[in-house]
Amino acid sequence: MTKELNRRLFLSSGATASVAALAFRMGFGLSESGPAQERQSARGKAWTLALEEYAKRGCNYCDRMVDKNGLPYFDVFWTDPAEAAHDWPDFGDVMSRQFQAVVMARHMTGEVATIEPVWRQKILSLIDAETGLLTRPETSYSRKVADDGDQALTLYALVTAYVDSPDRDLRNVIVKMTDGLLARAPVEARCPRHADGLQRAGGIYPRQYV
């Protein structure tokens, strides 16, 4: 991955703006509170913020906060001792987000989270071969469903993995998922300006638009 592409992937995170603002404030000795003279005197001090260290700690969390099969936990309770429990977002929500995170963190830190290949395999195993959509399994805490939110997060994660390391099989999965989403979307939502033409064509985008 080029440095420019890596930069764009990192900047795609919604939290980046907050981190950048924090870094800016720390660099200039600014804070949200405190007398103006204290902020002024702090301007001469040097501050550093090593995001790589935070990313490494995040990878440690990802590697450890999973069950024996590698499935992450959505619920973590601040009890004594602390407890973690599974919930319906564990499949297409939490696992997809964190899979994408460890891929991006690898570029920041040079370290590979041991859970990365496990999550990749588990995500792919949840994708229905017929529809191309990630489907949560039926469990005591989730029902069998192909949720739209899960598809969005999983698709974003898989595209990140593909950009990181292009793979024909992964590309086919991504295209199949995209086709599955287009097939279930209302015609108007796909392309309002060409809704009539799409209806005449059976409601499916021509391949050149995919």
Write out the chain's pLDDT in tens, 210 residues: 445 544 444 444 444 444 334 333 444 344 444 555 555 555 667 677 788 888 888 899 999 999 999 999 999 999 999 999 999 999 999 999 999 999 999 999 998 999 999 999 999 999 999 999 999 999 999 999 999 999 999 999 999 999 999 999 999 999 999 999 998 877 655 555 544 444 444 444 444 433
What is the token pair recorded at 159?
């595209």
**Domain check: are 9 and 57 in the same one?**
no
Give the end of a domain, one of 49, 70, 88: 49
**Domain check: are 108 and 41 in the same one?**
no
**Domain check: are 189 and 205 in the same one?**
yes
**Domain check: are 32 and 113 in the same one?**
no
Give the end of a domain, one of 10, 32, 49: 49
**Domain check: are 95 and 174 in the same one?**
yes
**Domain check: are 62 and 154 in the same one?**
yes
Verdict on whether the full-model pTM lies above 0.85? no
**Domain check: are 57 and 27 in the same one?**
no
Q: Give Cβ neighbours of residue 106 (< 8 Å, ≥ 6 apart).
A: 112, 113, 116, 164
**Domain check: are 4 and 58 in the same one?**
no
Q: Which of 105, 115, 110 is nearest to 15 (CA)?
A: 105
Q: Which domain holds residue 70?
A: 50-209
pLDDT in tens, 110-145: 989 999 999 999 999 999 999 999 999 999 999 999
**Domain check: are 74 and 136 in the same one?**
yes
**Domain check: are 5 and 55 in the same one?**
no
Count CB neighbours of 128 within 10 A: 13
What is the token pair recorded at 175?
């295209």
pLDDT in tens, 39-52: 555 566 767 778 88
Count CB neighbours of 202 within 10 A: 7
**C-alpha to C-alpha distance for 141 and 75, rounded to whole angstroms:** 12
**Domain check: are 28 and 93 in the same one?**
no
Q: What pLDDT score was predicted for residue 49?
A: 79
Number of domains in the chain: 2
Give the end of a domain, one of 30, 49, 68: 49
Using DSSP's 3-state secondary structure scheme, residue 190 falls into helix
